[in-house]
Chains A and B, each alone.
Chain A
Amino acid sequence: MKHRSGHLCLMGAMLWAVLAIPAVRHVLESTMTLQLLIQVPLLALAGGWLVQGAPGWLDRRLHAWNHRGISGLLLASLTGMVWMLPLAMDAALNDPQVRLAKFLSVPLLIGAPIALSWPRAGFVVRGVVLMELIATMMRLGWLYLISPIRLCSNYLLDDQQRLGKILLVAAFAILLVLVWKLMWGHVDSAHKGTEGINSN
Chain B
Amino acid sequence: MAVLRTLLVSLVLLAAGLGILTAATDGFRAYTTETARRIRVREHPPLVPPLPLQTAAGGRTSFGELRGRWLLVDFIYTRCMSYCSVQGSEFARLQGPLADPLAAGQVALLSVSFDPTHDDPAALADYQRQHGDHGAVWIAARPVDQADLTALMHAFGVVAVPDGWGGFVHNAAIAVVDPAGRLVAILDWNDARAATRYVMQRLTP
A25–B25 alpha-carbon span in the complex (Å): 26
A92–B1 alpha-carbon span in the complex (Å): 39
Smallest distance from the beta carbon of B167 to chain A beta carbons, Å? 11
* Apart from A78-B13, A151-B32: 15 A-B pairs, beta carbons within 8 A: A66-B2, A68-B6, A71-B9, A71-B13, A74-B13, A75-B13, A78-B16, A78-B20, A85-B24, A87-B24, A87-B25, A87-B35, A94-B159, A150-B169, A156-B169
Smallest distance from the beta carbon of A144 to chain B beta carbons, Å? 12
A64–B20 alpha-carbon span in the complex (Å): 26
Known interface pairs A87-B36, A150-B169, A153-B34; A64-B13 also in contact (CB < 8 Å): no
A82–B25 alpha-carbon span in the complex (Å): 9
Interchain CB contact under 8 A, B21 and A82: yes
Q: Does A88 sit at the interface, judged by CB under 8 A?
A: yes
Chain B: interface secondary structure?
helix
The closest CB in chain A to the CB of B26 belongs to A87
The closest CB in chain B to the CB of A153 belongs to B159
A94–B32 alpha-carbon span in the complex (Å): 14
Chain A residues with CB under 8 Å of B33's CB are 86-87, 90-91, 152-153
A79–B115 alpha-carbon span in the complex (Å): 38
Q: Does A189 sit at the interface, judged by CB under 8 A?
A: no
Interchain CB contact under 8 A, B171 and A65: no
Known interface pairs A91-B33, A153-B33; A70-B6 also in contact (CB < 8 Å): yes
